[in-house]
Each structure stands twice: as C-alpha cells, then as structure tokens.
Structure 1
Amino acid sequence: MALLNFSRPADYLDAAREMADSGRPTLARLLAEEAADRTTDPTEAARIRTEFTGNSLRQEG
C-alpha cells in the first residue's frame, strides 16, 4: 500500500473524489473543504465546494 502525501490542495481533492466514488460522501465533503481552504484562488475554492454537495460538517471553535 502506498503512503499518501497530502501536501497540495490537489491531493485532498483527489482523495475527496476517491471517497465520493467509494460511497463515503461525508469524508469526501470534509476532504473537499480542506482542499478549498488550501486553494489560493477564491474562484477555484468555490468551484471545489460546489462540486461536493451537502452542508459543511466541520465544527469550528
């Protein structure tokens, strides 16, 4: 099994898509939110968030 390295927004986005494809929408959404947070372009961040539907499940604070 390969060790995953999450150092770029694209790494989180790839993992989010993989989780969505395997029927794990909650984990997919969390990974997509992390990808969006790490993206410097606000337009791209918004696009990422709309690709993965559902409410945010993060607990802030």
Structure 2
Amino acid sequence: MGTFDRPSDYLDAAREMADRGRPALARMLAEEAADRTPDPQEAANILAQFPGRTLRSED
C-alpha cells in the first residue's frame, strides 16, 4: 500500500474506488484531494469529477 503525500495520491485512490463501485469512498477521497490542492479552480474541477453530497460532518 502506498503513501498519501500529494493531492494526486488521493485523486488516484478516488478514481480506483469509483472504478470499484464505491462512490461514497471515492467522493471522500476526492474531497481530501481538493482540500490539499492550492488552486481553487483545480479543487472545484476535482470535486466535479466525483458528484455527490459530502459525507463530512459539520462540527
């Protein structure tokens, strides 16, 4: 198992989960990739690839 050091690591994992039919997990990984992406437009593009509502709790 690899490490998750870069946004692209999370994005790769999100794509893998989407391919395996795990859309909720894919969305969560995509949100983490977007959070770690400094460019707001690129972050929005990442999230657009994985539609759905967030599963994060707002504390």
Normalising to structure 1: TM-score of the pair?
Answer: 0.93
Residue in structure 1 matched with residue 46 of structure 2 by the alignment: 48
Which runs of 4 or more aligned residues in structure 1 lie more than 3 Å from their structure 2 counterparts after TM superposition? none
- What percent identity do the matched residue pairs reach? 68
Matched to 1:14, the amino acid is D
Cα distance between partner residues in 2 of 1:57 and 1:5: 23
Gaps of 5+ in 1: none
Matched to 1:8, the amino acid is R
CA RMSD in angstroms, aligned pairs only: 0.6
User: What do the CA deviations read for 1:13-61 (whole angstroms, capped 9, x no partner)?
Assistant: 0000000000000000000000000000000000001100101111122
Normalising to structure 2: TM-score of the pair?
Answer: 0.96
Q: Does structure 1 residue 28 correspond to structure 2 residue 16? A: no
